[in-house]
Amino acid sequence: METLTQLLRQSIAQYSEILGHIRLLPRILAHSQPRELEAYRLEMQVLQEKAERTDEQLAALPKDTAVSNEDKTLLQQRQVLLQEITTHNDLHFPKITGKMTVIAADLSQMRDNITAMSGYKVNLGKSGGIINTAH
């Protein structure tokens, strides 16, 4: 089992990586292509799952685990990172929600257009026939 110090260092590294990824979000949102957004989302999910596993290990440590001065410093660094992540999430959440609303409206409009276009059918049945020139 890893020590508190090791887990805190690992957690700080993981949350630093998450924060770095979050800082890419404004550029991704500004030039969003569906594939880029999905790649961003999947990468964030992987990063969050790693951090969650470390958090679970931290939570599983015995309550009477000794906390050194270094651990206290690491806990403070980790807390600052978590606060920064929360601040960025609060800042970007409305933008993400707005982007999702626009995308949903675009999809709805496209569906409506497809439905409308399906109502226009060209009749390519037989036309013409034998011309009767005898009057």
Give the structural domain span for 63: 4-106
Q: What are the tokens at 90?
A: 């609060």
Q: What are the tokens at 40?
A: 């961003």
Classify residue 97: in a domain, yes or no: yes
Q: What are the pLDDT digits (tens) for 3-42?
A: 999 999 999 999 999 999 999 988 887 877 778 888 888 9
Question: Is the separation of the CB atoms in 74 and 12 below 8 Å?
Answer: yes
Classify residue 121: in a domain, yes or no: no
Classify residue 124: in a domain, yes or no: no
Spatial CA neighbour of 8 closest among 44, 49, 48, 55: 55
Classify residue 100: in a domain, yes or no: yes
Number of domains within the chain: 1
Classify residue 125: in a domain, yes or no: no
pTM strictly above 0.85: no
Classify residue 98: in a domain, yes or no: yes
